[in-house]
Amino acid sequence: MKNYVVWTNCVIENTEADKAHGVRPADFGSYNQMHEISLRSAQQYLQGHWEPIVFDQPAPSRVEMFRANWQRIWDLWHSEPCNILYLDSDTVFVRATKIFDRFEQFRLFNWTHPKHKAPFQDYFNAGVRYYPHTMSAATWAIGHDLAQTWNTDIWDQEQIIFNKMFWSQDLAWGDAHRPELNWQMPVSGSQDHAQFNTIDQDQAMIIHYHGTRGSTAAVRRATELAVKAGVNI
């Protein structure tokens, strides 16, 4: 069984579109550094045999990148039996982590900010997501139908689609919520991270520090986290 870990590391041609969504444009150099740290941390701490894939084709805008990613992952998963772990570049592994062959359903792992967004009682972040080879055709169909009418005016259209897929599976809360696998630590803001995530940082396995909220500070945060975890960067 093939295991793939997928990142996107590409030039965004129209950063003004990011501004329209209230997102700080990030230069490619900063994101490239974040991606490299994420990759090296995965090589050190993600258990099992896996192959990296990087989507590096330039994108007209970040929301168009999201839509392209949807199709690329759909194509990859349907091309052969495989498990796919997708990681945003602003994630870093900080200790040994098992994901492959651990879950049978499509997975998101933890809240985003804000935690609640209609119609979702719990709105999960899509920066770390897992597509096992065992996920159901019905779950895929929900996403596929929604992707046909993708609204690029909505920044988190991708995340909305993934939440609809995820919550359609009727998982028990104790199974669904795995904050250690996408521990939220945005570089901006002053919230109590442990309180938000409901577990302490020393229990986290993958930390997501949100590079779109300030890429220069994000590179510093990624470097600090990696060095503390003993990642060779």
Question: Are the beta carbons of 220 and 202 closer than 8 angstroms?
Answer: no
Q: Categorize the per-residue pLDDT at 46 as very low, low, confident or very high, splitting at 50, 70 and 90.
A: very high
* Rounded Cα distance, 231 and 141, in Å: 39
Q: Categorize the per-residue pLDDT at 221 as very low, low, confident or very high, splitting at 50, 70 and 90.
A: very high
pLDDT digits 0-9 by tens, 76-90: 999 999 999 999 999
pTM above 0.85, yes or no: yes
Say how many residues make up the chain: 233
DSSP H or E run through 52? strand 51-55
CATH class of 2-229: alpha beta
Those residues whose C-beta lies under 8 Å from the C-beta of residue 40, and which sit 6 or more positions away, are 226, 231, 232, 233
pLDDT at 166 over 60: yes
Per-residue pLDDT, averaged over 125-147, amounts to: 98
pLDDT value of position 174? 96
Measured CA to CA in angstroms, residue 222 lies from 22, 70, 74 at distances of 22, 26, 29
Query: Chain-wide mean pLDDT for the chain?
Result: 93
pLDDT value of position 212? 67
pLDDT value of position 127? 97
Question: Interior CA angle at 78 toward 180 and 1, to 5°?
Answer: 65
Can you read off the two tokens belonging to residue 124?
């999960």
pLDDT at 214 over 80: no
pLDDT value of position 38? 98
